[in-house]
Structure 1
């Protein structure tokens, strides 16, 4: 497959946001579609995974209408209520923007989640497709979108 963004756009379209959670630091995880339980190496429950997942390690923002509801540099007290507003919203679009590809997830209710790296190196986002036996993950490296090894 050569157009990975189109693959993820088609796979995510219409799926509901099932879970939004915070990873280490300001890492944001958005799980789409049916959730599957996950277990850590020690047997303890981990975070459930959606059919499609978006991880933005940092920097990110959540836009609501014409303004920014919160972002990775916002007061962390704003995050839980903003994350909760994403739950149940359906994916309208998933696309990239910019010369160095950043990702944006557009949801019903005029909500949008966008990555926007503000440091040297590559954008820090990953898309996961877990619908098959072998999951596919894509990233941006050196300005090119490709499969994570």
Structure 2
């Protein structure tokens, strides 16, 4: 079968390279997201892979994985979510019963540190952070949680 745009696997390789390069650059990642979507369409059309592929890893530097306050931690979660390209309802759907829709919204909007570590872990994993960065986010959460517990114990 002849393909007017060239060999699909060569095109897939080119798009994958664009995606990786786009995710490595700081700033807007619209080209990388467009390449990611095109890669998904090619995988579905040419290889018959499912319509809901694994999310790409979110490019986040170690320097960005910081939070000294609860507000900074919530902002970090917001940043991870935005870079993932997922909507809040998509995150909830992918999390199944672990992270109900109302909880996804409250993780990012209430301005308080989340109380359930498994929900934080599920959230950042679904958003595409690699395991090492998920572990770093969980360390931040534990440190802030401990600090909040100590502060509450003094009052």
Instruction: Give TM-score scaled by structure 1 length.
Output: 0.25
Higher helix share: 2
Higher strand share: 1
Largest Rg, 1 or 2: 2
